[in-house]
Amino acid sequence: MTEMYIPTFQDALDARERIKPYVHETAVFTSSYMNALTGAELFFKCENFQKAGAFKVRGASNAVFGLDDEAAGKGVATHSSGNHALSLSYAAGRRGIPCHVVMPRTAPQAKKDAVIGYGGTITECEPSTSSREEVFAEVHKQTGADFVHPYNDPRVIAGQATCSMELLEQAGPLDAVVAPIGGGGMVSGTCLTLSNIAPETKIYAAEPLNADDAYRSFKAGHIIADDAPETVADGLKVPLKDLTWHFVSNHVTDILTATEDEIIAAMRLIWQRMKIVMEPSSAVPLATILKNNDVFAGKRVGVIITGGNVDLDKLPWMKS
């Protein structure tokens, strides 16, 4: 393995300039109802309104538009069945270069259609880690495309760091920021920004109890991976990797968990009261704030709504 490059705050500032034409400065929403309910002053950073429907387009765009022309000509590649696949396809499409996505053949057709709609090319694998790695290695070898990992990539983390830069400018000084944690890309980007320009702001990672590998890693002091966790917050199943572990272990104040019922209730509450469509993963922060009132009451708290790509035919509070 090559030596790990840890992105700097200058990388994040460069990312912001680089991706500006391709991403939205998303709105920050407030809700007097949510403030009354939690006793905190909440600032919801609405990345569900982001291009391709998720914050991941920030990191993907930074990777794609940071390539020199020769590398770019060979395109980019990744394995993902989620928002990173859509985001990388979108960014590559904007640059006019190929994007190769390895996806399990069992992935939802809507996700496949979205990747193709943005101009990506899908190579299907079996729904197993070994098949995915094998197929991806073959695609990578044949195309020579630049591999953009969904989160364990310094360019991706520098891109995600632009989200909390905007949030601070929009909301003003914050006592805390709460972001969902899966692989840790968003949380790492948040750490990169806040540790540099708002070191007094506490960073909380919010995780489903059913996929609490980051929580257990944080308490143990080393990475622990879950074995095929099942949670409604399907964007948060993946484990920490060395680069994201670096940021999480050094800068996160605490990791808070929520049950499936708590996540679904928080998601429904946000839809009902704030009138926004967002995905289950994005509801984990509010779920943890609601159950940790003592931590957040009286505080000015940023809440990252990470994405809005949800299957409208299968909402988690509906009887199936």
Which residues make up the interface to a copy of itself (CB under 8 A)? 27, 29, 48-49, 53, 268, 271-272, 274-278, 308, 312-313, 315, 317-318
In the complex, the smallest distance separating the C-beta of residue 254 from a copy of itself, rounded to whole angstroms, is 29
In the complex, the smallest distance separating the C-beta of residue 45 from a copy of itself, rounded to whole angstroms, is 13
In the complex, the smallest distance separating the C-beta of residue 169 from a copy of itself, rounded to whole angstroms, is 18
Q: What does the alpha-carbon distance between residue 49 and residue 149 come to, in Å, rounded to a whole number?
A: 23
In the complex, the smallest distance separating the C-beta of residue 141 from a copy of itself, rounded to whole angstroms, is 35
Measured from the CB atom, the residue of 145 and 278 that comes closer to a copy of itself is 278
Measured from the CB atom, the residue of 113 and 242 that comes closer to a copy of itself is 113
Measured from the CB atom, the residue of 53 and 229 that comes closer to a copy of itself is 53
Name the amino acid, one letter, at 241: K
CB-count exposure of residue 291 (10 Å: 0-12, 13-18, 19+): middle
Measured from the CB atom, the residue of 197 and 276 that comes closer to a copy of itself is 276
CA end-to-end span of the chain: 45
Contact (Cβ atoms closer than 8 angstroms) between residue 237 and residue 149: no
Measured from the CB atom, the residue of 36 and 228 that comes closer to a copy of itself is 36
Residue (of 297, 310, 305) closest to 38 by Cα position:
297
In the complex, the smallest distance separating the C-beta of residue 193 from a copy of itself, rounded to whole angstroms, is 24
Q: What does the alpha-carbon distance between residue 170 and residue 201 come to, in Å, rounded to a whole number?
A: 15
Strand order, beta sheet including 176-180: 28-29, 41-46, 300-305, 176-180, 202-208, 254-258
Our CA dihedral for 194, 195, 198, 199, rounded to 10 degrees, sits at 140
